[in-house]
Amino acid sequence: MIGIFDSGSGGLSVMRAIRERFPSSDIVYFGDIKNAPYGSKSHDELFAHTIDAIKFLKERGATRIVSACNSVSASLAISLFDALSIAPIDLIEMVGPTVSSFKDSDARVMLCATPATVRSKVYRHGFSMIGKNIHQVAIRDLAGAIERGAPDEEIERIVTEAFAETAHEDFDALILACTHYPLVADAFRRVLGNIEIIDPADAVAARVESRWWPQEIGEGKAQFFITQDSEPFRMRVGVMFPACVECVEVV
């Protein structure tokens, strides 16, 4: 069984992409809403939450893990694999598949993410390995606003303010490097106009399929665990996975 975790609803955008490619996979999802947003937390806090999330998923039967949270990618240290008995091949995170999907691209790339992701420089280092420089924009309050289901006007205002100082017409592509952001991709389109908006979920789902198919062929079951009840989360599950409205449990 595949375990997916995030601070809350963002990982649902990754799960949706995995389900599209790999409908028969069995998935257990962990959304740590009580501790959201992750993007404003310190490296030590994120490391601790990452361990808790992976332990939880393993206890619920997950044997392979998708870290559907960019903010914790820098926390996925070698020591963690050993301590939690996970082989690196059994964990897929966001940064590797995203960067590698740009290997043959000439696009001038801009990326937006949480402060934790930008501060960690995981994307900057990843892109420099394929000879690319990227422009990064940290957006402080967006993931939290999305998590609590803030109205469209508030979302659009946050996005507008975040890009106020950026000459976005100098770029061809914008990577939404926080898994919450694709949930409001339309707001980015309205604010930024013609730039190509990239949701890395598909690159991650492709990696899941290529690495874990056919071992993960199951019955298409899904379970969702959240650390604090949330109407917006339940609503998103209902919209994206209509058969699973009853599968959300607070732990």
Residues involved in catalysis? 69, 178
CB of 19 to ligand DGL, least distance (A): 18
Binding site for ligand DGL (CB under 6 A): 6-7, 10, 36-39, 69-71, 114, 117, 143, 178-180
CB of 87 to ligand DGL, least distance (A): 23
Contact indicator for 142, 161 with CB cutoff of 8 Å: no
Compare residues 71 and 136 and give the one whose CB is closer to ligand DGL.
Answer: 71
In DSSP terms, which residues pair with 87 in a beta bridge? none
User: 185 is written with which tokens?
Assistant: 């991709």
In DSSP terms, which residues pair with 28 in a beta bridge? 3, 223
Helical segments of the chain, H only: 10-21, 43-59, 78-83, 95-100, 115-120, 122-129, 142-147, 152-162, 185-192, 201-212, 231-240
Compare residues 25 and 71 and give the one whose CB is closer to ligand DGL.
Answer: 71
User: 94 is written with which tokens?
Assistant: 């966001």
CB of 194 to ligand DGL, least distance (A): 25
Compare residues 75 and 114 and give the one whose CB is closer to ligand DGL.
Answer: 114
